[in-house]
Structure formats: C-alpha cells, structure tokens
Amino acid sequence: MGKFVVYNYDWISFPDAVKYRKLGASLAEQLGAIGALIRSVTPFSGDVPHTGCLSYDNNTNSLPKIPSASITVEDAELFGRLAARGVNITVSLSMEARIDGSDGMSRNTVSEITGSTKPDEIVLVTGQLDSWDVGQGAMDNGGAAFIAWRALSVIKKLGLRPKRTVRSVLWTGEEMGYYGVKQYSQKHINELNKISVAMESVSGTFKPTGLTYRGQNTTAKCILNEILQSMKPINATQLLIDDNIDGALDIRYLMEKDIPGLSLDTPNDQYYRYHHSIGDTMQVLNTRELDLCTAVWTAIVYVLATIDDQLPR
C-alpha cells in the first residue's frame, strides 16, 4: 500500500505541460509516493492516453525510481473532482514498460543528390524516423520524414542539379534521446562548417505558412524572406525569427555548432491531439497539405543549394 501523486494541470502549451511527464516521477518519489499518474500532454484527449519519455533526477539516486504512467485527460479530471469532494480514491497500477539497460543497433537513413559545382557544401533536410509504438507515428514524425525524402525525389524527377549537395537524413533514436543527430554531429564533425543550413519539421505537416529561421544574421533573414516570396501562390510567405536552440528539437545539436536552422511552420493547433497516442495514424495526414509541404520544402532546398553563397551564419 502507498500513495500516488496525480498531476492534473491546466493545459497552456506543450512546453508547459511536458515538464510534468518528464519530471513528475522524481518529484513524486521525494514525497514518498509509490507511483505518479500524469495527465496526458494534450489539450484534447478523446479518452486516449498519450505516452512519452521521463527523466529521473540524478540527485535522488538514493530513492527508488517509481513508475509513472500517463492517464487520459478525462480520468485526470475525474480524479480532481473526486479529490475535491474528499473521496478516498483507490488505484491499482499494472505496467509492463521497462528499461533493460541493453543497447541495440539503429541507423540514420541517408540519401543525397551530389552538387554540380560545390559538392562539398551541403543543404541538410531532415525528419525523425522513429515513433512511439502506441500509434503509427504518421504525424510524429512520418510526415516530416516523407517530405525530407520526397524533396530530393522531386528535384531528381524534375531533372534539376543544384550547385551544392542536398542531403536528406532521417534521424533514428530521436524519441530515446536524439541519438541519431548526436551521432551524426560527431561522425561528420569535420564537415559541419560546410553545412549551409539544417532544416527540420517537427510539429506536423499541415498546410504550410512559411518558415522559422533560427538564427540572428540579418543578411540570412533577408535572403530567406526573398526566397519565401515565391511561395505567394500558396500563401506560405511568413518568416518567423526564433534563435532558441532548444526549440529546434531535431537539429539543435547541429545548431550548437553554429549551423543555421530552419523549421517548417504550419497551423499546428491539432498536432497535440494525436501526438504520442494511438490516434497518430495515416488518417490524420491530409494528402493536399502533405503535397504543399513537399512543394515548399523542395523549393527552399533547391534555392538554398543553388544560390551563389552559403546561408550566412
């Protein structure tokens, strides 16, 4: 017998909510709890639990690492109402999830079109290949993996040959701790200064609205803004500026090496309804919107690989 800590917070945003999932177990164990129950990190549940990783506080190594489980928004709110009435709530928790301490082999998936005149300079377009096993991982992050690979396919089918090498990398082990991009950064350390830009899409392949530039160079901003003007026919000309490296989930380890970063922007208010859940299936992808994201990615990749100079840092 023992007590559980239930985290039933008010949804504000993903960064605000995910801290309960990541840190909740360690905080609960310091209070003597035998387990933690986390309101799923989503604004709308549909009575479906969402999964994800957690971290144990290294400063509490003397304490047992208690289990932590996601529960639906509906169940978290039910617990809240019952507790407010003074009802004694009894919970029975049975889990099979575990970390066995062993490592396995996993690989990034890489494809490229070699540049015609500057083959040693690289435009890197990326997506995350792995996903949580509760769903199909279609939105997180199959859509991004698709457009990262498809951009090269479209360039090749159009018979175009950019000056720089265009390389598509589909990261492995992202959900486990960004292992793919970390390994890539280490293995390719001698060519990082030749990467003109690293591109990612981590928040859904809905109808594209433009780009987020993750840097501070004024000339780079002007170049990107000019490139985006070609996206007027599909209303994808918006350029946002954000130099927060932590916000660039899949490429932040490259950006730490001073590589400019670009993220695809979409109206992603629906993203966290499906994220890390059984609801993340192929049905959530819209064919038309996926084609538009592919078109934007292809155009941006090709222009950045063809202009005279690398994107300024």
Q: What is the pLDDT of residues 278-295, one digit of tens each?
A: 999 999 999 999 999 999
On the question of pLDDT at 275 being above 80, the answer is yes
Domain ranges within the chain, ordered by starting residue: 4-84, 109-306
The CATH class, in words, for 4-84 is alpha beta
**Listed residue (67, 61, 69, 71) closest to 2, CA to CA:** 67
Q: Is the per-residue pLDDT at 119 higher than 90?
A: yes
Which residues are known to be catalytic? 174
Note the pLDDT of residue 103.
79
Average pLDDT over residues 160-187: 95
**109-306: same fold as 4-84?**
no
**Taking the model in full, what pTM does it have?**
0.91
User: Is the per-residue pLDDT at 209 higher than 90?
Assistant: yes
pLDDT at 249 over 90: no
163 token code pair: 């000056």
Q: What is the pLDDT of residues 122-141, one digit of tens each?
A: 999 999 999 998 999 999 99
Position 172 pLDDT exceeds 90: yes
- Cα–Cα distance, 263 to 250 (Å, whole number): 10
Q: According to the model, what pLDDT value does residue 176 have? A: 86
Does residue 263 register a pLDDT over 80? yes
Burial of 73 (0-12, 13-18, 19+ CB in 10 A): buried
- Please, what is the average pLDDT of the chain? 93
- Across residues 84-104, what is the average pLDDT? 86
pLDDT of residue 58 exceeding 90: no
Question: Does residue 87 register a pLDDT over 90?
Answer: yes
| pLDDT at position 100 | 74
Nearest to 9 by CA among 60, 34, 47, 43: 43
Rounded average pLDDT over 74-91: 96
| CATH class of the region 109-306 | alpha beta
pLDDT at position 210 over 90: yes
| pLDDT single digits (tens) 14-32 | 999 999 999 999 999 999 9
Is the pLDDT at 151 greater than 90, yes or no?
yes
Look at residue 9 and tell me whether its pLDDT is greater than 80. Answer: yes
Tell me: pLDDT of 247 over 80.
no
Q: What is the pLDDT of residue 75?
A: 97
Range in 53-62, 217-226, 236-245 the model is least confident about: 53-62
Q: Do residues 39 and 79 make contact, with C-beta atoms less than 8 angstroms apart?
A: no
- What per-residue confidence (pLDDT) applies to 262? 96
Distance CA 258, CA 261 (A): 9
pLDDT at 157: 97
According to DSSP, the β-strands at 195-200 and 118-128 are parallel
